[in-house]
């Protein structure tokens, strides 16, 4: 394919809450939770941050990193499961904020945790056919987890933006493959403040079936194998799932380590594996191959194969990397966290 990543940008709020702090409030065993989830802390949005503001920061970093004229962006698609408006697109606000309006098309995407990668695929098609010169795909979330629920230990905040085009690529998208079924593993009805999860459906028929099938489907299509890749990234609802599925598929711990950001960040949902890809691009060298597979409850997975170009060195320092964004956190207690997340209803 003659389509690839032209630039990328990430944003992570500085506020964090440790797993021990959440466990203490609910009388849970923090060590058991950490061992089970492989998550130590998670990011928390500031009082004035939501999916849109986080997406704008990531989008601006993507534009600045490669010195891109935003007027050349012909599409902005934002994937999230925590859009602030039930009826009003997030993408119009984002496009206006980055100076891309009015000559473009925008839309909000929803597919649980893989809405961002679905947006990438849509941009790929529009760029490949010549409908647009550049497309921006964003994954951004301020994820919800009910008080005391297992999700509360991982549901985090963050966003990633990718600019897709044909010229000046930092990573060529060699191919993509999707695997989708109707699997009721996770949902949130209109008006419900927190999502529910289908217990036994979450792992085997949900995550592992779809991620492994999409990954195997792409490698079969391309005639590649795990050893052909320098890095691999899988959706990160926690640390255990991507570690396990990588081993199932034949990838090593060394291949997945650079992109495994969830232990320090938590699950940013629509930006989860996209954040892992950004962390990997931050250190990758020209010629490196990267494998990535997302997962969205409901359920589906999108697998991608990338080859990094020598342009990566030219733009790398144009915006903060993921490690820089994870540095210097501000730790808060549960009461402050509850206020930031709007868990206290008046």
Q: Which residues are catalytic?
A: 81, 113, 235
What string of H, E and C letters represents the secondary structure of the chain? CCCEEEEEEEECCCEEEEHHHHHHHHCCCHHHHHHHHCCCEEEECCCCCCHHHHHHHHHHHHHHHCCCCHHHEEEEEEECCCCCCCCCCHHHHHHHHHCCCCCCEEEEECECECHHHHHHHHHHHHHHCCCCCEEEEEEEEECCCCCCCHHHHCECEEEEEEEEECCCCCEEEEEEEEEEEEECCEECCCCCCCCEECHHHHHHHHHHHHHHHHHHHHHHHHCCCHHHCCEEEECCCCCHHHHHHHHHHCCCHHHHHHHCCHHHHCECHHHHHHHHHHHHHCCCCCCCEEEEECCECEEEEEEEEEEECCCHHHHHHHCCCHHHHHCCCEECCHHHHHHHCCCCCC
Q: Tokens 């990535």 appear where? A: 292
Distance CA 50, CA 325 (A): 17
Distance of CA 21 to the CA centre of its chain: 25
């Amino acid at each position: 394919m003659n389509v690839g990543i032209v630039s990328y940008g990430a944003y992570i709020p500085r506020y964090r809450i440790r797993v021990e702090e959440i466990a203490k409030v609910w009388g849970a065993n923090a060590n058991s939770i950490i061992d089970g989830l492989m998550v130590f802390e998670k990011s928390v949005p500031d009082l004035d941050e939501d999916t849109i503001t986080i997406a704008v920061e990531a989008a601006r970093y993507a534009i600045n990193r490669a010195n891109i004229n935003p007027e050349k962006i012909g599409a902005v698609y934002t994937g999230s499961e925590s859009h602030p408006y039930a009826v009003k697109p997030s993408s119009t606000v984002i496009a206006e904020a980055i100076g891309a309006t009015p000559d473009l098309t925008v839309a909000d995407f929803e597919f649980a945790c893989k809405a961002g990668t679905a947006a990438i695929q849509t941009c790929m098609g529009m760029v490949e056919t010549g409908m647009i010169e550049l497309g921006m795909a964003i994954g951004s979330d301020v994820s919800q987890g009910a008080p005391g629920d297992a999700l509360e230990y991982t549901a985090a905040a963050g966003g990633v933006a990718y600019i897709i085009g044909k010229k000046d690529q930092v990573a060529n998208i060699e191919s993509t493959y999707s695997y989708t079924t109707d699997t009721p593993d996770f949902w949130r009805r209109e008006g419900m403040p927190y999502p529910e999860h289908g217990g036994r459906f979450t792992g085997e028929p949900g995550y592992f079936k779809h991620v492994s099938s999409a990954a195997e489907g792409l490698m079969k299509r391309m005639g590649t194998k795990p050893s052909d890749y320098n890095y691999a990234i899988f959706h990160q609802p926690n640390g255990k799932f991507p570690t396990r599925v990588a081993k199932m598929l034949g990838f090593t711990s060394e291949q997945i380590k650079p992109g495994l950001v969830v232990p320090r960040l938590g699950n940013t949902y629509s930006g989860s594996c996209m954040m892992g890809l950004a962390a990997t691009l931050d250190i990758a060298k020209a010629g490196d191959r990267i494998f990535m597979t997302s997962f969205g409850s409901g359920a589906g997975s999108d697998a991608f194969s990338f080859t990094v170009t020598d342009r990566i060195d030219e733009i790398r320092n144009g915006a903060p990397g993921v490690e820089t964004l994870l540095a210097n956190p501000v730790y808060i207690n549960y009461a402050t966290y509850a206020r930031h997340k709007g868990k206290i209803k008046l």
